[in-house]
A and B are shown apart, each in its own frame.
Chain A
């Protein structure tokens, strides 16, 4: 498992998008996700699961993630999370997945 080295952001607050902000967490904190979404009640757990799965796939831990969702599809959530991780210094295992 690796961790990120700096704070980074990806995405926008436009409709159908999600803004993902990532920051290094304290050692042993694991993956902490804070979600704000227009569909929190309906899809909150699913959105968190997509973010968590994407981060775990890259074997990144001790990370704080804030996701501001505006109705993004899973593919957008995944793409924005990967972009934020990459910008935060994570060396992605597999460029696109």
Chain B
């Protein structure tokens, strides 16, 4: 399982930001060829991002490229970017499994022999995309996550975008459920007010409670808040360890069900505990705890 607690957008035509993208510690950096680049500068951004991928050290951050939509510059983006070995492509405005198949055909044609297959993260940002979420998630094993783009989505609904986010509640839960059913990750829409840390915290906590595994980010200042919310706390780790101990003890006594502090511990609880411990191990929190 790849960590995608935070996925930081970096404008694709800004050399200063592209060369420093790896220093913020985001789990993924998204080098953006779409909304952050003016139509007349698409060619320049493509050259710049391709060269950045080949030469800039993004450390442990996953490199993701947001290409332009299929009906604009996607083909040129994929042809130029895929041979530079990004980890994943973020495809905007995905509305069907057919969109994914079309992108995969272009990626496969652009990949070099022996290249690690480029993954796909589908950005759902239209009402149609939300309706088709499960089919998109199951379209191909290259699809590793669904992400929500709430600004375009609410425009499509004709709704007002609010900080409380009631207008995107359905989209969030449908997307999370579709991703979980397909066994892939769900990534929440960015919180667009970079100066409102309290609002970001509340929105990220809501996202985690609903089941998202990470959040898109539009400013490096948001990363610490997002990581704090999506990383297991020491009490989470303690609880998970107790669950595993309890179930092992029960198994050694010939039972598949245990109890912990008066509460039943069954398979879904064990799965949740194992996920927390796996995440804690990935983040080095087990060592810290010792």
Pairwise interchain contact B19-A73, C-beta atoms closer than 8 A: yes
Known contacts A10-B44, A86-B43, A95-B80; decide if A79 and B16 are in contact (CB<8 Å).
Answer: no
Contacts of B79 in A (CB 8 A): 95
B59 to chain A, nearest CB (A): 17
B80 to chain A, nearest CB (A): 6
CA–CA, A75 and B54, complex, Å = 9
Known contacts A75-B55, A83-B43; decide if A96 and B19 are in contact (CB<8 Å).
Answer: no
CA–CA, A73 and B16, complex, Å = 9
Known contacts A11-B44, A79-B47; decide if A16 and B55 are in contact (CB<8 Å).
Answer: no
Of A15, A75, A95, which contacts B16 at CB under 8 A? Answer: A15
Contacts of B84 in A (CB 8 A): 96
CA–CA, A12 and B84, complex, Å = 24
A2 within 8 A of B: no
Contacts of B47 in A (CB 8 A): 79-80, 82-83, 86, 96
Q: How large is the interface on B (under 10, 10 to 19, 20 to 34, 35 or more residues)?
A: 10 to 19
Pairwise interchain contact A96-B15, C-beta atoms closer than 8 A: no
A78 within 8 A of B: yes
A38 to chain B, nearest CB (A): 13
B175 within 8 A of A: no
- Chain A residue at minimum C-beta to C-beta distance from B52: A75
Of A10, A16, A78, which contacts B51 at CB under 8 A? Answer: A78
Pairwise interchain contact A96-B43, C-beta atoms closer than 8 A: no
Pairwise interchain contact A73-B43, C-beta atoms closer than 8 A: no
CA–CA, A80 and B54, complex, Å = 15
25 contacts between A and B (CB under 8 A): A11-B44, A14-B14, A14-B15, A15-B16, A16-B16, A17-B16, A73-B55, A74-B55, A75-B48, A75-B51, A75-B55, A75-B56, A76-B15, A78-B51, A79-B47, A79-B51, A80-B44, A80-B48, A82-B47, A86-B47, A95-B79, A96-B47, A96-B51, A96-B80, A96-B83
Seen from chain A, the residues whose Cβ lies within 8 Å of a Cβ on chain B are: 10-11, 14-17, 72-76, 78-80, 82-83, 86-87, 95-96
